A and B are shown apart, each in its own frame.
Chain A
Amino acid sequence: MAKAEKRRGRGRRAAVLLISGAVLLVLFFISHAIGRYAVPVLDVIRILVRRLWVLTGLDRIWPMHVTWTWQMENAVVNIRLPRVLMACMVGCSLSAAGATFQGVFQNPMASPDILGASNGAAFGAALAILLGLSTQMITAFAFIGSLTTVVLVFLIARWAPGFRTVNLILAGIMIGSLFSAGTSYLKLVADPNNQLPAITYWLMGSLSGVRLEHLLPAAIPMAAGLLPLLLLRWRLNLLSLGESEARALGVHTDLLRGALILCATLITAASISVSGVIGWVGLVIPHLSRKLIGSDHRGLLPCSMLIGSAFLLFVDDVSRDLLATEIPIGILTAVIGAPFFIFLLLRKEKTL
């Protein structure tokens, strides 16, 4: 009987991952089809498959007939594909970072934005824009800014007496508002003709203007952060039990915690530096995933990544197609995220 139950537990995990993956895939193709210039979904699949064919050289063995116009191909490959991929990458990274922060700090309320990491990254990036630095330097500044805030918040929460959960959230709010005050000052002194609009638009978060050449520079730090997180996901379970238990179970806690915070901060900063500030994803998605698949990070982390990708892709579709003018994506995630946060507070169950 026990064996049957075990299989059912594993089966459920596989099923949840499979379904989230399938939803993501369907959404991926639909996202290429919709827009001002609509392209039939079947043509989207044909266009993308043919690109893959050409890339892998299969084209010479089994050539595909072109049944679509070059305008369609242009819209799908050059305009929509980069943006769709970037939405997936950013959603995946922010969710994975949120799940990791929550595990490391043993706190279901931790997330890149609550910990102030987003504000720190925003300040760093605004500073880089103000100084007229290159895109790579904007990423680097965003990374330093968010790492500084996470470390500060963690130290304050650790040394302050009292309840850890509350301390962590309060410290995050305080350090976060300190950095956003800094950002406000940067906006004040920025050149109102070119720098200020860049900073403002960037702070609201948007994926418009993403081009193919932007993908690789963002993908490298994301992959560098996500891979260790995936490999360490069993250890994250141990760390989430708390310092003494994790240590007694054989975990080098300082080393593991440091590595996980560094990776989660790296992917947060990499996301924010390309998409601007997109809040709430890192808090909401891991919670939703925990409901579906349970707390075990072996399932939770991949599930958060898949659902996070699908969620941000969907929100980005709404952001570009709901109104004639584009709505910044950060505004939309807040509209969905804030009510969810209130729902968490009002829930009857005590353990968040």
Chain B
Amino acid sequence: MSLSVCELSFSYHRAPVLSGVSFEAHEGELLAVLGPNGVGKTTLFRCILGEQKRYFGTIEIDGADRKRLSPREVAHRIAYIPQTHAAAFRYTVRDMVLMGTSHTLSPFASPGKKQEAAAAEAMEKLGITALSDRSFDALSGGEQQLVYIARALAQQTRTLLMDEPTSSLDYGNQIRVLNAVKTLSREGYSVLLSTHNPQHALWYADRVLALKDGRVAALGPAHETLTETLLEALYGTRVTLTDSQTGPVIRPVPNIE
């Protein structure tokens, strides 16, 4: 397994955010993290990436204790794909992707041919080679997300961490990004993806990790785990699950007088 979290607890100013969270992410698997706002999804990611160090329990990445790994060693193992956000400076798409290769360089070095080849390959794979010379901040949200994913591929890790990659995208771009992610997990990447849309989890995820009040509410295969009862408990609204030819569909129950 590529990522193993065991009895993870974290408190922020004495208020518990995560308590006793345990799960594993396997290679070739897309694991969706679900839960309402403020449930600790971002905190969980920050603990895994090493931004938060004062947690209890253990996080193992490729069999190594997270707390013993330097930022560079973490970057060897896990790539992080952030939400789309405004950047202070205008880098070209090529430079953005190239930055993913930095952990292979010594601190005083600039990327060379090998790194540029890795970046070119990653852009080719996501079909964004044509955007190479465009300015990153001039791209659409969906294109920016694809650039982030290409950067993660250039990082050449086996595990990808995605923080609500579809949150600010229009419908078509949401599907495009999720398709790209699904393809990667099929190819052997282990993907941990947080999302606000349980339907996305049903469509794309192999397994689901549902968090509620900082605890694991459910963990298991998407189709078995995502039930009406669980969704109502998570989000506090009534939903129905209907079977369709292409799988179950989540529908909200209108509560309008």
Do A and B interact?
yes
Q: Measuring CB to CB, which residues of chain A are less than 8 angstroms from any residue of chain B?
A: 2, 5-6, 9, 103, 106-108, 231-235, 237-238, 240-241, 243-245, 247-253, 256, 290, 294-296, 298, 351
Are the CB atoms of B92 and A296 closer together than 8 Å? yes
**Closest CB in chain A relative to B148 CB, distance in Å:** 9
* A6: chain B residues within 8 A (beta carbon): 94, 116, 132
From B79, B91, B100, B109, A295 is in contact (CB under 8 Å) with B91
**Set of chain A residues within 8 Å of B105, measured between Cβ atoms:** 234
CB-defined contacts of A106 to chain B, threshold 8 Å = 88-89
Interface, chain B (partner A; CB < 8 A): 46, 49-51, 70-72, 74-76, 78-80, 82, 86-92, 94-95, 99-100, 102-103, 105, 107-111, 116, 120, 129, 132-133, 137, 155, 161
CA distance A241 to B81 in the complex (A): 13
With A249-B102, A250-B103, A296-B92 as contacts: A244 and B71 at CB distance below 8 Å: no
Most central of B49, B78, B79, B89 by chain A CB within 10 Å: B89
State the Cβ distance, B67 to closest chain A Cβ, in Å: 15
Task: Given A9-B92, A351-B137, verify A247-B51 contact (CB < 8 Å).
Answer: yes
Neighbour of B102 across the interface among A2, A233, A234, CB < 8 A:
A234
**In whole angstroms, what is the CA distance A6 to B88 when docked?**
24
Chain A residue numbers with a CB within 8 Å of B79 are 248
Interface of A (DSSP majority class): helix
The reply to whether A252 and B70 contact each other, CB–CB distance below 8 Å, is yes
Q: Nearest residue in A to B107 (C-beta to C-beta)?
A: A235
CA distance A234 to B161 in the complex (A): 24
A334 to chain B, nearest CB (A): 26
- How far in angstroms is the closest Cβ of chain A from B214? 21
**Contact across chains for A231 and B82 when beta carbons are under 8 A apart:** no
Bound-state CA distance A243–B46 (Å) is 12
A241 vs B82: C-alpha distance when bound (angstroms) = 11
Closest A residue by C-beta to B91: A295
Interface residue from A2, A296, A351 paired with B129 (Cβ < 8 Å): A2
